[in-house]
Amino acid sequence: MNETVLTALQYYGAVAATIAALLVSLDLGRKWTGYAMVIFVTSSLALIGWGFLQPESEGIGMQNVVLLVINAVGVWRYLLSPHRKEKSGADHAERAPAA
């Protein structure tokens, strides 16, 4: 495999996961957490590719197969679930400053 492609997959996966983790840590609400989960999915896909194409990196590939499933559940819960809209109002109420 082309070394440039492997390096791009590795660094994209690392940078994307870092950005997604930052978004989650900022606690900007359900929608932003859902967007972070989408970024986590792309990170996992990149690291799966890198892990299985780079010699002796299968462990990272397997870890990201599991993380891909976890992140896909997050995308479902935060962006796609029909119950998401019901929880959005509660999420907003929790964030309202106390009077």
Non-local (6+) Cβ contacts of 98 within 8 A are none
Q: Would you place residue 93 in the very low, low, confident or very high pLDDT band (cuts 50, 70, 90)?
A: low
Taking the domains of the chain in order of start, what are their residue ranges? 3-90
- Helix residue ranges per DSSP H, the chain: 3-25, 30-53, 58-75, 84-95
Residue 59 tokens, joined: 């462990």
Note the pLDDT tens digit of each residue in 5-45: 999 999 999 999 999 999 999 999 999 999 999 999 999 99
